[in-house]
């Protein structure tokens, strides 16, 4: 079974009010369900218009309440900025409230401003992801969880054995998807039979390499049961020709990426106690701005943007090389709801049939 899901950016870079961004997200979710998508996904960011969704679990709750059958996933809960037990508790609540329609995405992020505000050193972001995935999985699948890792070492969080309530509705636990590419992270995911979230920043070759390394870790863990189903993310834009698609999408795509270049903060604060750290953030943003053309060209080349034939060929190659069976495609980057929904409709009614999916449905 291969499914298409709608990935919502919740961006304010198109000039609408923040209330309108949320209203549009609820509308997109209902329309995705009506059109036959199998899921809707949201991301999580702080201090930037790239995505005004600082708590993806709160947003997931609203999307689940506004729909009836479609799955809702968050991509991702930023583990370094939260306590793993708190994430597990909220995920179990959403799992119960929705009757098992929630997918939990876990990752680390990595924006320096986040690290400063939430008091988690950047060099701890990697370890916190690996440890947090282990603790959250245990909290949702075992009777008790404490702050000790499976190797007997203390985690970054110290707490006594507790039982998370509510207990998950879905057995053996809420579906968990991990956004991580290091061998250690994939080993932790594979040992527990957890799925991956594949990045839309990567080429087919890079995604294929991630999946192969995960499969090796899965074999080493002697995993029993069906192979975990990964979710691949992608930016999709369809037009009658590739040239037209690029022309329509480039400007909006560029504006969207600019909204995520750095966090929003008072630039006069560079003269205060956080001065050097904030100056480093600004310098990093300026470096990214200087390479903007190359970055935009690379990301657009890595994603299915073009005619129906171009987009179909992209998905066919990705499926063949990575074995991906579920996709989360960005819907609202283009900005205008009518155009965004038209893009999603073309994906489901023109690209999907070419891939062997029944017209109007998002599943094989």
Does 289 fall in a domain?
Answer: yes
Domains identified in the chain, total number: 1
163 falls within a domain: yes
pLDDT tens digits along 263-303:
778 888 888 888 898 998 888 888 888 888 898 999 999 99
363 domain-assigned: no
pLDDT (0 to 100) of residue 362: 41
User: What percent of the chain has pLDDT above 90?
Assistant: 76
Q: What is the pLDDT of residues 119-177, one digit of tens each?
A: 999 899 999 999 999 999 999 999 999 999 999 999 999 999 999 999 999 999 999 99
Q: What own/partner pairs with CB < 8 Å and gap ≥ 24 does 59-62 have?
A: 59/10, 59/22, 59/25, 60/94, 60/102, 61/94, 61/97, 62/22, 62/25, 62/26
Question: Is 345 a member of any domain?
Answer: yes
**pLDDT tens, 195-222?**
999 999 999 999 999 999 999 999 999 9
What's the pLDDT tens digit per position in 221-265?
999 888 999 999 999 999 999 999 999 989 888 888 887 766 778
Domain region containing 251: 3-354
pLDDT of residue 364 exceeding 70? no
pTM greater than 0.85: yes
**Is residue 364, in this structure, part of any structural domain at all?**
no
Tell me the CATH number at 179.
3.20.20.30
């Amino acid at each position: 079974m291969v499914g298409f899901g709608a990935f919502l950016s919740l961006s304010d870079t198109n000039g609408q009010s923040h209330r309108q961004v949320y209203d549009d997200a609820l509308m997109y979710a209902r329309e995705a369900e009506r059109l036959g998508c199998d899921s809707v996904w949201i991301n999580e960011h702080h201090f930037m218009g790239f995505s005004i969704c600082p708590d993806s679990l709160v947003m997931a709750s609203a999307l689940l309440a506004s729909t009836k059958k479609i799955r809702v996933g968050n991509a991702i809960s930023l583990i370094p900025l939260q306590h793993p037990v708190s994430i597990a508790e909220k995920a179990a609540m959403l799992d119960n409230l929705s009757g098992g329609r929630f997918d939990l995405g876990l990752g680390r992020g990595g924006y320096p401003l986040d690290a400063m505000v939430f008091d988690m050193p950047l060099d701890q972001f990697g370890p916190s992801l690996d440890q947090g995935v282990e603790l959250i999985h245990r909290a949702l699948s075992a009777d008790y969880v404490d702050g000790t890792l499976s190797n007997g070492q203390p985690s970054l969080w110290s707490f006594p054995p507790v039982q998370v309530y509510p207990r998950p509705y879905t057995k053996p636990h809420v579906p968990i998807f991990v956004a991580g590419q290091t061998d250690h992270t994939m080993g932790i995911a594979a040992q527990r039979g957890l799925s991956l979230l594949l990045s839309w920043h990567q080429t087919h070759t890079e995604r294929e390499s991630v999946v192969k390394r995960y499969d090796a870790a899965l074999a080493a863990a002697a995993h029993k049961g069906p192979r975990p189903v990964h979710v691949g993310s992608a930016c999709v834009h369809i037009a009658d020709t590739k040239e037209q698609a690029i022309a329509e999408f480039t400007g909006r795509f560029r504006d969207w990426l600019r909204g995520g270049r750095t966090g929003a903060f008072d630039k006069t604060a560079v003269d205060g106690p956080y001065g050097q750290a904030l100056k480093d953030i600004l310098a990093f943003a300026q470096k990214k701005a200087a390479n903007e053309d190359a970055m935009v060209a690379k990301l657009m080349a890595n994603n299915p943007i073009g005619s129906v034939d171009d987009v179909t060929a992209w998905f066919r190659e990705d499926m063949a090389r990575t074995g991906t069976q579920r996709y989360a495609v960005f819907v609202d980057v283009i900005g205008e709801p009518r155009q965004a929904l038209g893009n999603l409709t073309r994906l489901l009614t023109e690209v999907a049939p070419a891939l062997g999916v029944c017209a109007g449905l998002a599943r094989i």
